[in-house]
A and B are shown apart, each in its own frame.
Chain A
Amino acid sequence: MDRLKKGEVNMAVTFKDGVILGADSRTTTGAYIANRVTDKLTQVHDTIWCCRSGSAADTQAVADIVKYQLELFAMMNGKPPTTQTAGAIFQEICYSNKDRLSAGLIIAGWDERHGGQVYSIPLGGSLHKQPYSIGGSGSTYIYGYCDANWREGMEEAEAVSFVKEALKEAIKWDGSSGGVIRMVVLTAKGADRHLYLPDTDYKVRHQ
């Protein structure tokens, strides 16, 4: 069935001051590009974001529920939720509805206690803590690149460049990935968006 499928490549990496999320912008229905400027990086709390891949409808619904739950958590407890809290709620939804959902999620967040963290929730609804995570169908093309080039505790500029180069490879080799590169940098300073366009060869930061 040709439902809207999305998120053909996305990733999140920890670095010295926090965590960076990155994604392409292609949404496809079969071979047709239904949206070429999709924003797959979704905010669920101030400095907790997620990368969505799989069914657009499913991942949006899940993200909306978690966003609501985290807002409620912050109000009820008078303190912001941690990335762990977000991961736990995401997982419960993905696990208990595993036979109905087609959602692959990467949760990345910064909080003052734990710094930048990355959690991955693949199809079955398991929860994996990782130094960095890649997801979506296009990620299979960059396992080698990421494993060879990843370093712990990179500077922000290095980490941005690592994410960008990895996504460029995925976009190059995967037909289901393409369009612009979006990133969000999460640190003590908050969330900072980046945008890179293909017509400038992803060289210029537009946002």
Chain B
Amino acid sequence: MTSIGTGYDLANSIFSPDGRNFQVEYAVKAVENGGTSIGIRCKDGVVLAVEKIVTSKLLKPGANKRIATVDRHLGVVYSGMIPDGRHFIDRARDEARSWRDTFKTPISTADLASRMGGYMQAYTLYQSVRPFGITAIVGGFDSTEEAPVDGEVGSGPACGAGGKVAGKTHGGPFLYMIEPSGLYWGYYGAATGKGRQAAKAELEKLDLGGPGGPTLTLEQAVKEAARIIYVAHDDSKDKEFELEMTWISGADGPTKGCIGRERLSVGEKALDEDEDEEEGKEEKMEE
């Protein structure tokens, strides 16, 4: 990589002769050095988890959360440069808020991913900016119920609205990953950061994308996500880390359609007591 830039890597708005934007590729390098984040889309929800590398013993355990709430039903986790991630989240919250102000209903996960993808792409176009040094995983649960207008009063007929198209379902769990180029796809399971290869290998073993939809339940996915973060940490065993994770279900599940309602943050010491920790989580899910 050292010699291939040859001047074409000095600015964002310049392509190399073979059609590459080196600044974007360098941004990907920044992501590859960050702690692993993963997302799992399962049958009845989405799980986000991150390997939060603890850089100093002087930092309070459990403080400085890395998974952020964007709206009631939306969460974001990212790998890479943390200040860039913070700005990404600020923007995501603004997008979610402005959608609410205009349409008086929550933004869908797909619409948020689209807007944030567009936002990140814009940072690959101009001389004056550099791309985001993060890859973000956006997880959300779009309501499967009928969506009212925020603040509406009154109700329709007690027998329910007539003329609905039968057999169609709406909403559900969604997972997107947005890269520094602005590229985004919807995923069954997503991983980014240092341990992404190991994490992806583990994710591929799970039943996430079968023809009838995933069979993995939220409860299983929470355990798998925790396990995968530990597997992915294997490469950098010398560093201490905290496992931080959150999960979201539909309105009828444990989180009642709200992200961040249940979350978990365990320190490195839990590493050796894997079994105990698993049980602790189960209890948490049942509350």
Direct contact between the two chains A and B in their complex (CB within 8 A): yes
**Residue tally, chain B, CB below 8 Å to A:** 27
Interface residues of A in 129-176 (CB under 8 A from B): 129-131, 152-153
Residues in B lying within 8 Å of A, measured CB to CB: 102-105, 111, 146-165, 168, 170
Whether A49 sits at the interface, judged by CB under 8 Å, is no
Q: Which residue of B lies closest to A129 (CB)?
A: B154
B165 contacts A114, C-beta separation under 8 Å: no
Interface residues of A in 58-102 (CB under 8 A from B): 73, 77, 82, 84-85, 87-89, 91-92
B157 contacts A153, C-beta separation under 8 Å: yes
Q: Which residue of A lies closest to B146 (CB)?
A: A114
Q: Which of A13-21, A32-40, A193-201 forms contacts with chain B?
A: A13-21
Cβ contacts A to B, 16 pairs, < 8 Å: A14-B161, A14-B162, A15-B162, A16-B162, A18-B162, A82-B147, A84-B152, A88-B103, A112-B168, A113-B146, A114-B161, A119-B149, A119-B152, A130-B154, A153-B157, A153-B159
Tell me the minimal C-beta distance from A121 to chain B in angstroms: 11
A116 contacts B154, C-beta separation under 8 Å: no
- Tell me which of A84, A128, A153 contacts B105 (CB under 8 A): A84
Q: Which chain A residues border B163 with CB–CB below 8 Å?
A: 16-19, 110, 115-116, 187-188
Asked, given contacts A84-B147, A88-B105, whether A115 binds B162 with beta carbons under 8 Å apart, the answer is yes
A131 contacts B157, C-beta separation under 8 Å: yes
Whether A118 sits at the interface, judged by CB under 8 Å, is yes
Best-surrounded residue of B146, B153, B163, B164 (most CB of chain A within 10 A)? B163
Q: Which chain B residues border A43 with CB–CB below 8 Å?
A: none
Whether A105 sits at the interface, judged by CB under 8 Å, is no
- Interface class of chain A by DSSP: mixed
A130 contacts B170, C-beta separation under 8 Å: no
Q: Which residue of A lies closest to B150 (CB)?
A: A88
Docked CA distance A79–B147 (Å): 15
B162 contacts A88, C-beta separation under 8 Å: no
A17 contacts B162, C-beta separation under 8 Å: yes
Q: Which residue of A lies closest to B110 (CB)?
A: A77
Asked, given contacts A84-B149, A87-B149, whether A114 binds B164 with beta carbons under 8 Å apart, the answer is yes
Asked, given contacts A84-B105, A84-B147, A112-B168, whether A129 binds B153 with beta carbons under 8 Å apart, the answer is yes
Whether A127 sits at the interface, judged by CB under 8 Å, is yes
Whether A126 sits at the interface, judged by CB under 8 Å, is yes
Whether A117 sits at the interface, judged by CB under 8 Å, is yes
Q: Which chain B residues border A112 with CB–CB below 8 Å?
A: 164-165, 168
Asked, given contacts A88-B104, A113-B170, whether A118 binds B153 with beta carbons under 8 Å apart, the answer is no
Q: Which chain A residues border B161 with CB–CB below 8 Å?
A: 14, 114-117
Tell me the minimal C-beta distance from A12 to chain B in angstroms: 12
Q: Which residue of B lies closest to A19 (CB)?
A: B163
Best-surrounded residue of A19, A73, A88, A126 (most CB of chain B within 10 A)? A88
Tell me the minimal C-beta distance from B237 to chain A in angstroms: 46
Q: Which chain A residues border B168 with CB–CB below 8 Å?
A: 112-113
Question: 6 closest A-B pairs (Cβ-Cβ)?
Answer: A115-B161, A88-B104, A18-B163, A115-B164, A112-B165, A131-B157
Q: Which residue of B lies closest to A130 (CB)?
A: B154
Docked CA distance A15–B155 (Å): 14
Q: Which chain B residues border A117 with CB–CB below 8 Å?
A: 156, 161
Tell me the minimal C-beta distance from B161 to chain A in angstroms: 4
Asked, given contacts A110-B163, A115-B161, A152-B158, whether A129 binds B148 with beta carbons under 8 Å apart, the answer is yes
Docked CA distance A188–B158 (Å): 21
Q: Which residue of B lies closest to A15 (CB)?
A: B162
Q: Which chain A residues border B102 with CB–CB below 8 Å?
A: 88-89, 92
Docked CA distance A117–B162 (Å): 8
A85 contacts B153, C-beta separation under 8 Å: no
Asked, given contacts A84-B105, A85-B105, whether A129 binds B152 with beta carbons under 8 Å apart, the answer is yes
Q: Which chain A residues border B151 with CB–CB below 8 Å?
A: 127
Q: Which chain A residues border B155 with CB–CB below 8 Å?
A: 129-131
Q: Which chain B residues border A114 with CB–CB below 8 Å?
A: 146, 161, 164
Docked CA distance A92–B104 (Å): 9
Q: Which residue of A lies closest to B160 (CB)?
A: A115
Docked CA distance A118–B154 (Å): 11
Asked, given contacts A114-B146, A127-B152, A128-B152, whether A14 binds B157 with beta carbons under 8 Å apart, the answer is yes
Docked CA distance A46–B155 (Å): 24
Q: Which chain A residues border B160 with CB–CB below 8 Å?
A: 115
